[in-house]
Structure 1
């Protein structure tokens, strides 16, 4: 197959987080262009990491502006959910393409083309709605799981320095730190705080404490509640207080 010479092509690739791999999207899209005999060098690539529910995506907004300015005739995406996982954002994208006479090509999914005249739009709308509902269900399940974990006294989020999380999800003092893996022991922090209390500087204390930065040490020392975890063995948070029963401060 040969491409139309006056077509102006763009593609949008999105992964949800920096840690994810988008190579499968890129390869599918490249294979599609190869099949259509469209040189990849003639295609403008818009690629980023970000939530499909967020409108604060620089590459997405740049592409949308370019579409609305009439810079493209065709846009290629891996699947409809890559455009957006929020209904109103997907609809805005579809509307902009329709108004600008842009055809959307989908390399993987139930609908493979959304014409500027609206052909394929109904199916795409349904797919976008399903993606939005899946996102809402995931959020509800996540919130429910977090609520149950909190009720059970489990620790969520980043583990405080000097602590680890047990296999069951509970906070516990790190009494055997793996320094090579970047860990800091509970008693390392306690000792550092005592040295600061004795007049040693944050910089010198941090330099002599494994994997503890001056900024972290300063933040702990200036927080009355957190300082008390390590020096007095007392905490306002019941989850921390339960963990501190393992140590004799």
Structure 2
């Protein structure tokens, strides 16, 4: 590469918990070997899932490619670009159409050139990532279904309840800081039924006014607190503990 050529780099750790330093180090080492001046490099960084196509920095980079602002793009690995086949295809096509060479510092293919060199292998790698993503989605869905079949609670825990160590829903009897007990929610819903305002009732709770409103306006969920009943077996099992204490 000539020193006058324009370079963009793209880094994407999958979550905020992941450190992107290894990607930066790999790219910086690659740049040093190519003898590229750092003041001619545009850096783009997203902290998003590779299945999310609404990444701001990625789309800015893609716009730059389409506006002929780059001659080279450097990434640590193809999966950093995307794990979606259609997005990878779009990215590769844009680089090919606008004369941009893609440099992969850690992967089965080192470069994807505008003349098609390296594209075949890159497409295969992209297909592998897409297959892995589909497999992961299947495993997650299977795990969720298995947990539900076992009566375990999956997802956000409803107000006044907590999930025990085995994954089962339990009513909160002695709340920790930031929690509302099941009985506090019962009292709150009863006050609303008696004409209390959402604002005044919510003041004494950790739950937001909107959260309280959502419960009160949902007939099925309101039954959990007013009648101690639910059509959801997981909730009904949890409520049986409360009902047994009242009997």
Tell me if the contact between 2:73 and 2:102 (Cα under 8 Å) persists in the aligned partners: yes
Q: 2:186 aligns with which of 190, 195, 211?
A: 190
- Note the C-alpha offset of 1:75: 0.1
- Note the C-alpha offset of 1:79: 0.3
Structure 2: state its 5+ residue gaps: none
Counterpart of 1:99?
A: 97
Q: Closer, same or farther in 2 for the Cα pair 1:236/1:12, shift >3 Å?
A: same
Could you state the TM-score of these two structures normalised by the residue count of structure 2? 0.90
Cα separation, 1, equivalents of 2:172 and 2:18: 30
Counterpart of 1:244?
A: 239
Tell me if the contact between 1:14 and 1:48 (Cα under 8 Å) persists in the aligned partners: yes
Tell me if the contact between 1:17 and 1:49 (Cα under 8 Å) persists in the aligned partners: yes
Counterpart of 2:36?
A: 38
Counterpart of 2:164?
A: 166
**Partner SS state of residue 225, structure 2:** helix
1:44-92, Cα deviation, whole Å (9 max, x unpaired): 1222233323433333233222212211100011100111112222122
Tell me if the contact between 2:3 and 2:36 (Cα under 8 Å) persists in the aligned partners: no
Tell me if the contact between 1:11 and 1:76 (Cα under 8 Å) persists in the aligned partners: yes
Structure 1: state its 5+ residue gaps: none
**Partner SS state of residue 97, structure 2:** helix
**Partner SS state of residue 68, structure 2:** coil
Q: Closer, same or farther in 2 for the Cα pair 1:40/1:190, shift >3 Å?
A: farther
Counterpart of 2:201?
A: 205
Counterpart of 1:143?
A: 141
Counterpart of 1:219?
A: 214
Mapping of residues 104-115 of structure 1, within 5 Å: 104-115=102-113
Q: Closer, same or farther in 2 for the Cα pair 1:32/1:177, shift >3 Å?
A: farther
Cα separation, 2, equivalents of 1:26 and 1:150: 41
Tell me if the contact between 1:228 and 1:235 (Cα under 8 Å) persists in the aligned partners: yes
Tell me if the contact between 2:3 and 2:37 (Cα under 8 Å) persists in the aligned partners: no
What is the RMSD computed on CA atoms of the aligned residues?
Answer: 1.9
Tell me if the contact between 1:30 and 1:40 (Cα under 8 Å) persists in the aligned partners: no
Tell me if the contact between 2:172 and 2:182 (Cα under 8 Å) persists in the aligned partners: yes
Could you state the TM-score of these two structures normalised by the residue count of structure 1? 0.89
